[in-house]
């Protein structure tokens, strides 16, 4: 999921957050200046996600777990999908029943199925933070500058071979649907057909919330697994603006969803962008776990 494709107010908050960190804005690089590659450095989170064996194998491992779960779950034919039913809360979720609907898995696109190498390169080399106009141009012209996330091609191939549909739910723009279909094809992850197996921002309901699209898909399919790199790829409930950082983590990790991770809901690790990159010291480091280096005693 690409985070910037949200409301203008949220985008403004994000711009501030991104400026306050520096994963995407090396301090020594003028913003939007045509810097040369040699003049700056790659943000560490991009090194990890796109360049490291650690990031690559984390993706491979998540896709192996997804594939194994999907093939196993398909044989068992569950009563319920993994999509939350209307009226669910974080404390009290219910799931859309499967009835006799055909089986499907639902995935986010960006940094879940594909690596947006071209866009991230451009952002890093310019020392620019997320720019929604530039991202829109990327959607329309970048379809041959992507790569699959490690493990995705093999997992989706095995899932389709078992007769299970693969459906994408992305906050890319519906107006650019043909280009996103092409990007998924280029990455070896297609076919995806807009309105059938590809749902985008502008489809079903306006806005960046993914719940209306999930509900539409779950009305027609028995969704036995979802994959994403952001909690919003599983439920919009995690994106409530009033949810503090620590409570958001606890709701995902300790609540009734704890047993779903790796068991119907599959998280791809993305430290480069997203609503997870939020919080001050009081949000991230509990008071009772702080330590102050006593220094040398000699």
Q: Which residues contact 81 (CB under 8 A, 6 or more apart)?
A: 95, 96, 97, 98, 218, 221, 222, 223, 224
Out of 120, 181, 203, 211, the only residue in the binding site for its own copies (CB under 8 A) is 120
The rounded distance, in Å, linking the Cα atoms of 153 and 286 is 40
**Which of residues 118 and 212 has its CB atom nearest to its own copies in the complex?**
118
Smallest distance from the beta carbon of 137 to its own copies, in angstroms? 6
**Which residues between 125 and 144 bind its own copies (CB under 8 A)?**
125-126, 133-134, 137-138, 141-142
**Which of residues 122 and 236 has its CB atom nearest to its own copies in the complex?**
122
Q: Among 116, 112, 107, which residue's Cα sits nearest to residue 210?
A: 107
142 within 8 A of 119, measured Cβ to Cβ: yes
Q: How far out from the chain centre does Cα 15 lie?
A: 18
**Which of residues 28 and 97 has its CB atom nearest to its own copies in the complex?**
28
User: CA of 58: how far to CAs of 91, 110, 170, 256, in Å?
Assistant: 29, 16, 22, 24
Out of 23, 158, 182, 216, the only residue in the binding site for its own copies (CB under 8 A) is 23
Question: Does 20 engage in binding with its own copies (CB under 8 A)?
Answer: yes
Is residue 43 packed enough to be buried (19+ CB in 10 Å), middle (13-18) or exposed (0-12)? buried
DSSP state of 99: T
Out of 75, 100, 241, 290, the only residue in the binding site for its own copies (CB under 8 A) is 290
111 within 8 A of 56, measured Cβ to Cβ: no
**Which residues between 158 and 197 bind its own copies (CB under 8 A)?**
none
Smallest distance from the beta carbon of 288 to its own copies, in angstroms? 8
46 within 8 A of 272, measured Cβ to Cβ: yes
**Which residues between 41 and 100 bind its own copies (CB under 8 A)?**
41-58, 60-62, 64-65
The rounded distance, in Å, linking the Cα atoms of 98 and 78 is 7
Site string for its own copies, 219-248 (x = CB under 8 A): ----------xxx------x------xx-x
Question: Does 199 engage in binding with its own copies (CB under 8 A)?
Answer: no
Smallest distance from the beta carbon of 156 to its own copies, in angstroms? 16
Question: Does 284 engage in binding with its own copies (CB under 8 A)?
Answer: yes
Binding window for its own copies (CB under 8 A); candidates: 94-102, 159-167, 196-204, 249-257: 249-257
């Amino acid at each position: 999921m690409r985070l910037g494709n949200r409301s203008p107010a949220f985008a403004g908050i994000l711009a501030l957050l991104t400026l306050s960190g520096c994963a995407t804005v090396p301090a020594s690089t003028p913003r939007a200046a045509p810097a040369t590659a040699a003049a700056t450095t790659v943000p560490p989170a991009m090194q990890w996600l796109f360049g490291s064996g650690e990031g690559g194998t984390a993706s491979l491992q998540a896709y192996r777990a997804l594939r194994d779960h999907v093939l196993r779950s398909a044989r068992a034919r569950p009563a319920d999908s993994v999509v939350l039913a209307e009226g669910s809360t974080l404390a009290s979720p219910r799931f859309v029943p499967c009835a006799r609907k055909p089986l499907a898995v639902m995935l986010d696109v960006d940094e879940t199925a594909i690596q947006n190498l071209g866009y991230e390169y451009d952002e890093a080399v310019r020392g620019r933070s997320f720019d929604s106009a530039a991202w829109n141009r990327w959607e329309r012209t970048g379809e041959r500058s992507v790569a699959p996330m490690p493990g995705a091609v093999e997992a989706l191939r095995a899932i389709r071979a078992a007769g299970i549909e693969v459906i994408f739910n992305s906050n890319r723009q519906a107006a650019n649907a043909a280009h996103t279909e092409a990007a998924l094809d280029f990455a070896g992850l297609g076919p995806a057909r807009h309105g059938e197996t590809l749902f985008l921002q502008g489809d079903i309901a306006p806005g960046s919330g993914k719940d209306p699209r999930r509900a539409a898909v779950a009305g027609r399919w028995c969704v036995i697994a979802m994959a994403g790199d952001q909690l919003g790829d599983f439920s919009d409930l995690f994106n409530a603006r009033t949810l503090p950082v620590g409570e958001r983590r606890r709701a995902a990790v300790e609540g009734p969803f704890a047993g779903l991770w790796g068991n119907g809901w599959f998280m791809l690790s993305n430290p480069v962008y997203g609503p997870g990159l939020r919080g001050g010291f009081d949000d991230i480091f509990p008071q009772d776990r702080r330590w102050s280096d006593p220094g040398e005693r000699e």
